Amino acid sequence: MLSRPGVSNEWETATKRIDIRTEQCSSICEFGIKLTAASPGVRVGTRPLGKRVRARPRTSNEGGQTLLEFALVLPILLLLVTGIITFAIAFNNYIALTDAVNVGSRLLAISRGQTTDPCATTATAVENAAPLLTPAKITFTFVLNGTTYSGASCSCPTTTTGPCANVGQGETAQVTATYPYTLSIFGASASSGTMTAQTTELIQ
């Protein structure tokens, strides 16, 4: 049987199209690309790959936005944290000074007739009870039976004369201590002053 030239050419063209589709599908179908029957060789859908490609710029933009927000908030956060830490240190010093003055005044109340310098004895007890404070920065004021003594010493010739005579049983002894403080943030002084602790005891 003789083959008709037109039919043979159409058959060969159809066979080539099938081969081309097979090769294209084997190489790109795994990426989710589809071909239409009406236009062989033309990609009409890249949904899975397209979604991934479009998602990348969004992720990058979101990461950059987060980094920018963090850069803007970080200085304020550091400022707050530094301020809290500075205030906590000053408050801790105040508590330490108050507790130390209580210790010193109790010692003064029971030291009648046992020392020739009740002020120095009390000041030493206060300094030892507050090891985190600088002793040279602590200032003392004592009121013994109504008489005021400034400084960390009020020596007596004997335990019954001079200032020691004011340390009598049933009399009051008042101890006042001051300590400087400075609230600084990143080297800049925000506030400064002196903290005061005072205790009054009855001499035994």
**Contact between 135 and 177 (Cβ < 8 Å):** no
Give helix 47-109 / helix 118-129 axis angle, nearest 10°.
160
Closest alpha carbon to 143 in 163, 161, 158, 123: 163
Give the pLDDT band (50/70/90) at residue 189: confident
The structure's pTM equals: 0.65
Tell me what pLDDT residue 3 has: 47
Residue 187 dihedral angles phi and psi, to the nearest 5°? 85, -10
Q: Which two tokens stand for residue 174?
A: 């008042």
151-175 tens-digit pLDDT: 999 999 998 899 999 999 999 999 9
Parse the chain into domains and list their residue ranges: 73-202
H or E element in which residue 101 lies: helix 47-109
* pLDDT tops 90 at residue 180: yes
